[in-house]
Amino acid sequence: MVKFLKLYEKIGIFILIVLAGIFLAIASPNFLKTDTILNIITQGTYGVIVSFGMVLAITSGGFDLSVDALVGLTSVFLSVLIPDIGIPGAIIVSLIISAFVGFLNGVIITKFGVNPLITTLSMATIVRGASLLIADGKQIPISVARFTVIGTGKLLGIPNPIWIMLVLFIIFYLLLYQSSLGRHISAVGSNENAARISGLNVTFVKIMVYVLVSLTASINGVIRTSQAMIGIPSMAPGFTLTVITITILGGTSLAGGRGNLIGAVFAGIFISMIYYGLNLVKVQYFYQLLSVGLVLLFALFVDGLRKRYLEAAKIKGIKV
């Protein structure tokens, strides 16, 4: 069983993608076309980009349930600010505001000792309320046509969201696996007390993690608002579920201390394939959410099974 779980950790997500690909190739003759594959990957980038931040949060032993609310907040601020300060200025201000929300999450969790789930869930409610208040409960059209290039443009025939995802992947890969901050994040997630005793600034590490999660959510908000060309305060309902599913399915352990960014990329593509396949057979949206929820349960089951068997193996002196 230990060998099977170790093997699944390495190639499990690839097997799921292959199985989904076979089904879609049979169900749709258009699936193997380049445009279709690029569209599936592009749809997957939304969850993948935010999962980069969520990987850090869960690796550090935390969690963030405010990401979907931050997508809506970013969308509203972009629609309000672009006419006044232009596209670059509006994007920068929106990112800063989202980063500040992440900073508040980190401070409340570290300085006041509030549980991350309670903190981020409460913050999500506050942010949604602020978004609706700023937008007066309405959707706000964006009339600056060139803003749409971010979400719908292409470079070398590849959609811009894919390029953005690749750039962020490189940044977060270097951060998590090649930097001292990444090592500290893993150390805090593995054993926070030991990390604190060894002299690590746990407060700084956790605050940085929540700032980075918020930034990835805000970047997602920029991309999706660029595609819609409308500021939507309630944009991306249920999106947090998708991000968590991608993160856990990609191999990041809920126990903390171990993140998997590469797995998150492929898990995001797999989830996108599920949505594409269910749309193909004309399954209604709420059934699609149900399917993603079932995938999350499966990922949690495998993660729990893996943890239990590996701990048992270590107790027995089996090398894992």
pLDDT tens digits for 43-100?
999 999 999 999 999 999 998 999 999 999 999 999 999 999 999 999 999 999 999 9
- Which CATH number characterizes residue 235's domain? 1.10.3470
Task: Report how many domains make up the chain.
Answer: 1
pLDDT tens digits for range 217-263:
999 999 999 999 999 998 878 889 889 989 988 888 887 888 899 99
Q: What is the mean pLDDT of the chain?
A: 88
Residue 183 lies in a domain: yes
pTM: 0.91
Strand partners, 141: 230
- Do residues 45 and 219 make contact, with C-beta atoms less than 8 angstroms apart? no
Residue 217's closest CA among 40, 66, 116? 66
Q: With respect to residue 320, please indicate whether it lies within any of the assigned structural domains.
A: no
Q: Are 151 and 224 in contact (CB under 8 A)?
A: yes
Contact 250, 263 (CB under 8 A): yes
Q: Which two tokens stand for residue 216?
A: 């990835």
Domain span holding position 43: 2-315
Q: Classify residue 83: in a domain, yes or no.
A: yes
